[in-house]
């Protein structure tokens, strides 16, 4: 959810299918907020309204674990979510911040990311 910085009043909320797993990332232009959930989903939301711009679901064979961290490139063009558990080796994904399309994947399936 988002709150008004002046009053603390809730401005909007967005329901995800599972628990939010990471701190949010905000685009450099402050127009989009990104968040990740424990079912390996990413969401891009309009900061003014909370409307969903896009969502991305990592394939189970690519991730097989919840997202545990999320970073946004300094230019704001690529998201870098990491999925891992104590059992599943870490996997780093690169996701286009404008479209939600996966660019590449590193690690997982027995390799360390």
Taking every pair of Cα atoms in the chain, the longest distance, rounded to a whole number of angstroms, is 49
How high is the pLDDT of residue 112?
46
CA separation for the pair 39, 23 (Å, rounded): 15
Q: Where are the domains of the chain?
A: 18-107
pTM for the structure as a whole = 0.87
Q: How many C-beta atoms lie closer than 10 Å to residue 52's C-beta?
A: 12
How high is the pLDDT of residue 109?
54
| CATH number for domain 18-107, candidates 1.10.3720.10, 2.40.128.630, 3.20.20.10, 3.40.50.2000 | 2.40.128.630
Q: Strand order in 32-37's β-sheet?
A: 25-26, 32-37, 41-46, 52-57
* pLDDT tens, residue order, the chain (113 aa): 899 999 999 999 999 988 998 899 999 999 999 999 988 899 999 999 999 999 999 887 677 678 889 999 999 999 999 988 777 678 899 999 999 999 999 886 554 44
């Amino acid at each position: 959810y988002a709150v008004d910085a002046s009053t603390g009043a809730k401005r909007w909320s967005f329901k995800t299918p599972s628990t939010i797993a990471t701190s949010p990332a905000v685009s450099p232009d402050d127009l989009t907020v990104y968040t990740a959930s424990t079912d390996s989903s990413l969401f891009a939301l309009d900061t003014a309204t909370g409307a969903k711009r896009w969502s991305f679901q990592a394939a189970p064979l690519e991730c097989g674990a919840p997202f545990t961290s999320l970073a946004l490139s300094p230019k704001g063009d690529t998201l870098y979510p990491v999925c891992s558990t104590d059992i599943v080796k870490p996997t780093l994904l690169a996701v286009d911040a404008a479209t939600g399309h996966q660019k590449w994947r590193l690690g997982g399936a027995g390799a360390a990311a």
